[in-house]
């Protein structure tokens, strides 16, 4: 007897190997997947502008990167003794104006290059709620603790999200016609917006994604896919024991479960073998013996080094 429902997942046509390049953009959940890819030594760049929660923020990053935008003093501001950019997460903020501009422009260049080179672009949407800066009328990626009265909160419609996602896809296709673009919706619940509001938000995102995928399905070389992170959390893991203490974010058990589902769908069999080799090395490097000078430990170190050298001969990008 089964006590839970399970999603049926099928392997994708263009699966990920260690020879591929991956760009992860979006909400905090994409970083959970990104950290797994980093650990297993895939060629991976995650959130070059920090966590981005909604479609318009991701659209701005993709558009600016492809067009080669150069950030200037007009694009940044100072608040609480820190320089910020409304298009980037606060982790990029700095006490130095020059440092922030240097970081923004460097990240634009690296993002442009990876969009051109990527075989897979993973985009995770967190919310359809956005904040519009009243003074400029622009939708921001991050409010940077600027007083809320300076913003207007809005819920993006399904059509508006579809249009934004369509722009993202067409922008990527201008410079890279072959990359698989994978959309997913974050399972993190945005309860600060309200329970009903969170449901409206997620439903708008899901509807818009499938609208775009359906519209693009007839276009040649348009490899758009949907990975059901949200549905796995809501339908397979329907229990608060799979949430962190805040009861909003998936805990490590849930993250690992969704990652296993992602592996099943997107990771090639060759990459799965390499992942086991990487995992052995990673755990070996983390091992802390009772006696560092013992003969047994020295042999263990040599064995790990041999494994590293063997793997690096096959994949030159892998560095431990």
Residue pLDDT, tens place only, 78-123: 999 999 999 999 999 999 999 999 999 999 999 999 999 999 999 9
pLDDT, mean of residues 243-247: 94
The span from the CA of 53 to the CA of 27, in Å, is: 5
Q: Helices in 68-129 by DSSP H: which ranges?
A: 97-117
H or E, element range at 202: helix 195-216
CA atoms within 13 A on the CB side of 183: 25
In sequence order, what are the beta bridge partners of 44?
Answer: 22
**What are the backbone dihedrals phi and psi of residue 44, each rounded to the nearest 5 degrees, phi first?**
-140, 135
Where b means 16+ CB within 10 Å and e means fewer, 183-221 reads bbbbbbbbeebeeebbeebbebbbbbbebbbeebeeeee
pLDDT of residue 221: 54
Task: With a cut of 60, say whether residue 9 has pLDDT above it.
Answer: yes
The span from the CA of 74 to the CA of 52, in Å, is: 21
H or E, element range at 259: helix 252-266
**What are the backbone dihedrals phi and psi of residue 103, each rounded to the nearest 5 degrees, phi first?**
-65, -45
The residue whose two tokens read 């758009």 is 224
Burial of 55 per CB tally in 10 Å (0-12, 13-18, 19+): buried
Domains in the chain: boundaries: 21-241
The span from the CA of 277 to the CA of 187, in Å, is: 30
Both structure tokens of 108: 């634009």
Average pLDDT in the chain = 94
Residue 83 near residue 77, CB atoms below 8 Å: yes
Task: With a cut of 90, say whether residue 289 has pLDDT above it.
Answer: no
Task: With a cut of 90, say whether residue 219 has pLDDT above it.
Answer: no
Task: With a cut of 80, say whether residue 265 has pLDDT above it.
Answer: yes
- Pairing relationship of beta strands 129-133 and 43-46 according to DSSP bridges: unpaired
Task: With a cut of 90, say whether residue 297 has pLDDT above it.
Answer: no
Q: Give the count of beta carbons closer than 10 Å to the beta carbon of residue 109.
A: 13
Task: With a cut of 70, say whether residue 44 has pLDDT above it.
Answer: yes
Task: With a cut of 90, say whether residue 220 has pLDDT above it.
Answer: no
Residues 6+ apart with CB under 8 A from 274: 18, 40, 41, 311, 314, 315
* Best CA proximity match to 79, nearest among 87, 68, 90: 90
Largest CA distance in the chain: 68
Distance from the first to the final alpha carbon of the chain? 45
Q: How confident is the model at residue 1 (pLDDT cuts 50, 70, 90)?
A: confident
Strand order of the β-sheet with 129-133 is: 138-140, 129-133, 151-155
* pTM confidence score: 0.93
The residue whose two tokens read 């992942």 is 275
Percent of all residues in the chain with a pLDDT value above 90, rounded to a whole number? 86
CATH fold group of domain 21-241: Rossmann fold (3.40.50)
């Amino acid at each position: 007897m089964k006590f839970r429902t399970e999603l049926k997942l099928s392997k994708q046509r263009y699966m990920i190997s260690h020879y591929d390049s991956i760009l992860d953009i979006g909400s905090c959940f994409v970083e959970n997947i990104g950290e797994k890819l980093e650990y297993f030594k895939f060629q991976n760049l995650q959130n070059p502008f920090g966590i981005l929660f909604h479609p318009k923020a991701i659209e701005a990053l993709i558009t600016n990167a492809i067009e080669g935008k150069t950030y200037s003093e007009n694009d940044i501001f100072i608040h609480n003794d820190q320089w910020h950019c409304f298009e980037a997460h606060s982790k990029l903020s700095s006490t130095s104006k020059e440092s922030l501009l240097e970081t923004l422009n460097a990240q634009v260049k690296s993002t442009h290059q990876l969009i051109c080179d990527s075989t897979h672009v993973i985009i995770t949407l967190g919310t359809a709620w956005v904040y519009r800066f009243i003074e400029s009328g622009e939708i921001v990626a991050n409010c940077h603790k600027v007083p809320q009265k300076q913003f207007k909160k809005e819920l993006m419609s399904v059509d508006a999200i579809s249009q934004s996602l369509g722009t993202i896809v067409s922008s990527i296709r201008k410079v890279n016609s072959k990359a698989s673009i994978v959309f997913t919706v974050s399972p993190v619940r945005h309860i600060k917006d309200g329970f009903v509001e969170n449901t409206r938000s997620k439903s708008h995102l899901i509807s818009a994604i499938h609208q775009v995928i359906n519209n693009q399905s007839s276009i040649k070389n348009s490899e758009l896919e949907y990975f059901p992170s949200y549905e796995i959390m809501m339908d397979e893991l329907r229990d608060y024991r799979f949430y962190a203490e805040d009861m909003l974010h998936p805990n490590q058990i849930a993250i690992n479960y969704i990652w296993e589902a992602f592996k099943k769908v997107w990771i090639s069999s060759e990459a799965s073998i390499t992942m086991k080799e990487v995992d052995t090395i990673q755990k070996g490097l983390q091992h802390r013996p009772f006696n560092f000078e013992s003969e047994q430990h020295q042999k263990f170190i040599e064995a790990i080094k041999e494994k590293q050298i063997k793997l690096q001969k096959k994949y030159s990008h892998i560095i431990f």
